C-alpha cells in the first residue's frame, strides 16, 4: 500500500512540474519557420508558446533589428555586418527563403514589428546581443509599443543585463550562461543586483545549481531543449521555463 501511494505521489509531482513549466519559442518557432522573423514569432505563439525569444542588434542609423548572427550571411545569403549596415540595406535582404520557399520575402524585422505582434497574455523575450548603448532606443520602442508589461530580457554580457534591469526595473531580467564555473561565480551577484534569475544551458540544470538558485530566491530558465526526455528532467528539477525550437511539438510530447 505504501509503495503504491509513493508511486502515485511521484507521478503526481512529475505531472505537476510539467504543467507549471512554460515554453519559450527559440527565435520563434524556428524548427519550422525562419528564425527571428515576424512569421516565426507569430507561429511560435500560435503553436502554444508562452513566450517567444528574439535576438537584437542596433544599426548605425539607430534602428533595432531582430537577428541572431552579427553577420547576415547564414540567414540571408548576403554578407553584411549588422552593426555596420543601415537598416535600409538590411531590409532589402530576404531572411525567409533559406528556410523554405514559402517564406520568400520575409524581412529582417524591426523590433517594433515583433512587439506589435505579441498576443494578449503572451510575452516576448529579448536577448540583447550588444552592449548597453542600445538601451535608449530600446526604451523608446518598448514604451511606444504599449506592451512593456509583456517583455522580458536576457543577455550573456553582464553589463548589458544589469543596464537592462536599471532601464526596465519592473521587467524580469535573466543573465545567460553556458559555463558552470561562471554560474557558480556569478550567481550571488545576480541576486545582489536584483535580477529575476538565470537562463542557462540545460546541461547546467543540476540539483546543486537549482538548490543554490532557490536559496538566493532566483528563478531558473534553460535552453535549448528539443528532447522530451531532457525537458522532463529539467522540469522535474524545477526550472520555470524551457526554451525550445519546437514549442508546440514539445508541449504535446509531454502531455
Cell triple for 75: 540567414
Q: What mean pLDDT is reported for the chain?
A: 94
Q: CA separation (Å) from 54 to 64, 79, 198, 227, 234? A: 12, 21, 17, 21, 22
SS3 111: helix
What does the angle CA 52 – CA 228 – CA 254 come to, to the nearest 5 degrees?
A: 80
Tell me the backbone φ, ψ of residue 23, rounded to 5 degrees: -115, 130
Q: How would residue 18 be classed by pLDDT, with cut points 50, 70 and 90? A: low
pLDDT surpasses 90 at 88: yes
Contact 204, 194 (CB under 8 A): no
The residue from 21, 23, 26, 197 that is catalytic is 26
pLDDT tens digit string along 136-163? 999 999 999 999 999 999 999 999 999 9
> Closest by alpha carbon to 177, among 168, 169, 187?
187
Could you tell me where the beta strands, DSSP code E, fall in 89-245?
123-128, 151-155, 173-177, 197-201, 219-223, 241-244
* pLDDT, tens only, 48-62: 999 999 999 999 999
How much is the pTM?
0.93
CA angle (164 as vertex; 158, 170 as ends), nearest 5: 130
Confidence at residue 255, expressed as pLDDT on a 0 to 100 scale: 82
Question: Per-residue pLDDT tens for 189-224?
Answer: 999 999 999 999 999 999 999 999 999 999 999 999
- CA distances in angstroms from 68 to 32, 58, 110, 167, listed in the order given: 17, 12, 13, 22
Please choose, from the candidates 95, 124, 122, 117, the residue with its C-alpha nearest in 3D space to the C-alpha of residue 36: 95
**Active-site residue, selected from the candidate residues 68, 107, 147, 251:** 68
Residue 33 has pLDDT above 80, yes or no: yes
The verdict on whether 26 is a catalytic residue reads yes
Q: Which three cell numbers stand for residue 198?
A: 538565470
In the chain, helix, strand, coil percent, each to 5?
45, 20, 35
Amino acid at each position: 500500500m505504501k509503495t503504491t501511494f509513493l508511486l502515485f505521489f511521484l507521478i503526481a509531482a512529475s505531472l505537476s512540474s510539467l504543467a507549471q513549466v512554460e515554453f519559450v519559442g527559440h527565435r520563434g518557432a524556428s524548427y519550422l519557420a525562419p528564425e527571428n522573423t515576424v512569421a516565426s514569432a507569430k507561429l511560435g505563439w500560435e503553436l502554444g508558446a508562452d513566450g517567444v525569444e528574439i535576438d537584437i542588434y542596433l544599426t548605425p542609423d539607430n534602428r533595432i533589428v531582430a537577428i541572431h548572427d552579427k553577420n547576415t550571411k547564414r540567414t540571408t545569403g548576403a554578407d553584411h555586418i549588422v552593426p555596420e549596415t543601415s537598416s535600409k540595406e538590411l531590409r532589402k535582404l530576404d531572411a525567409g527563403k533559406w528556410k523554405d520557399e514559402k517564406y520568400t520575402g520575409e524581412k529582417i524585422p524591426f523590433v517594433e514589428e515583433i512587439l506589435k505582434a505579441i498576443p494578449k497574455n503572451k510575452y516576448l523575450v529579448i536577448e540583447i546581443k550588444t552592449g548597453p548603448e542600445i538601451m535608449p532606443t530600446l526604451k523608446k520602442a518598448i514604451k511606444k509599443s504599449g506592451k512593456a508589461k509583456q517583455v522580458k530580457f536576457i543577455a550573456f554580457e553582464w553589463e548589458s543585463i544589469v543596464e537592462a534591469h536599471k532601464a526596465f526595473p519592473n521587467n524580469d531580467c535573466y543573465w545567460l550562461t553556458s559555463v558552470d564555473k561562471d554560474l557558480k561565480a556569478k550567481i550571488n551577484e545576480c541576486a545582489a543586483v536584483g535580477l529575476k534569475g538565470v537562463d542557462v544551458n540545460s546541461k547546467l540544470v543540476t540539483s546543486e545549481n537549482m538548490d543554490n538558485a532557490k536559496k538566493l530566491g532566483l528563478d531558473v530558465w534553460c535552453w535549448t531543449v528539443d528532447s522530451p526526455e531532457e525537458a522532463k528532467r529539467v522540469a522535474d528539477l524545477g526550472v520555470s521555463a524551457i526554451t525550445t525550437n519546437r514549442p508546440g511539438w514539445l508541449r504535446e510530447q509531454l502531455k
